[in-house]
Every structure is written in structure tokens, then in C-alpha cells.
């Protein structure tokens, strides 16, 4: 009987591929405020799953949604500013 086995090198990532690159770490750091805002929104929504939301719960969810929108806006503006900085040209 023949056995089929994958070569270890073919299955396991190279040691240089196991760690995130500097660019990936920078991207994660850039997106952290949005991630935290989304977690806060989920937390506010989860607290109201098994009950009728009170006025306080509704305010908490509304504030969390505004934080998510603000974080998305800030991230989009930072991304656009970084793109504009890297792209040269235009009327000068």
C-alpha cells in the first residue's frame, strides 16, 4: 500500500512568512480605532438581544454607531490623504 504524505516544506510556511510584515502591522494599527468602535457597537447590541432596549440602551447603541461612522470617516480620510501624498502630479 502506498501512503500519500505532503512534504513538510510544502505544507508549513517559511519562517519569514509566519510573522506579519511591517506594512501589515501598520495597516492593523491604522484600522484599530475602527475595530474598537465596531466592538463597542457589538457589545451595545449584544446587551439588548434578550430584552427590550431601554432608552439608555438606545442611546448607547446610537453613540456607538456614531463612533463607528466617525472612525470610518477618519480612516477613509487618512487613506485618501496617504494616497494623495504618494501620488505625484496634478496642476502646480
Per the domain annotation, does 69 fall within a domain? yes
Enclosing domain of residue 61: 19-82
pLDDT score, position 4 = 72
* pTM recorded for the entire structure: 0.68
Instruction: Kindly state whether residue 55 falls inside one of the protein's structural domains.
Output: yes
Q: What are phi and psi of 88, to 5 degrees?
A: -100, 160
**b/e string for 39-58 if b means 16 or more Cβ within 10 A?**
ebbeebeeeeeeeeeeeeee
Q: Decide if 74 is inside a domain.
A: yes
Secondary structure element (H or E) that encloses residue 66, with its range: helix 55-86
- Tell me whether residue 53 is in a domain: yes
The answer to whether residue 3 sits within a structural domain is: no
Could you report the per-residue pLDDT of 71-87, keeping only the tens digit for each?
999 999 998 888 877 76
Per-residue pLDDT, 1: 66
- pLDDT per position as a tens digit, 31-45: 999 999 999 999 999
Overall number of domains in the chain:
1
Q: What angle do CA 92, 74, 46 make, to 5 degrees?
A: 165
Q: How much is the average pLDDT of 42-67?
A: 96
In a domain, 4, yes or no: no
Amino acid at each position: 500500500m502506498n501512503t500519500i504524505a505532503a512534504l513538510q516544506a510544502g505544507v508549513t510556511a517559511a519562517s519569514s512568512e509566519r510573522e506579519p510584515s511591517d506594512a501589515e502591522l501598520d495597516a492593523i494599527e491604522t484600522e484599530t480605532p475602527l475595530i474598537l468602535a465596531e466592538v463597542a457597537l457589538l457589545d451595545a447590541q449584544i446587551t439588548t438581544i434578550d430584552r427590550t432596549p431601554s432608552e439608555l440602551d438606545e442611546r448607547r447603541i446610537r453613540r456607538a454607531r456614531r463612533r463607528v461612522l466617525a472612525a470610518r470617516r477618519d480612516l477613509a480620510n487618512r487613506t485618501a490623504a496617504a494616497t494623495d501624498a504618494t501620488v505625484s502630479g496634478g496642476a502646480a
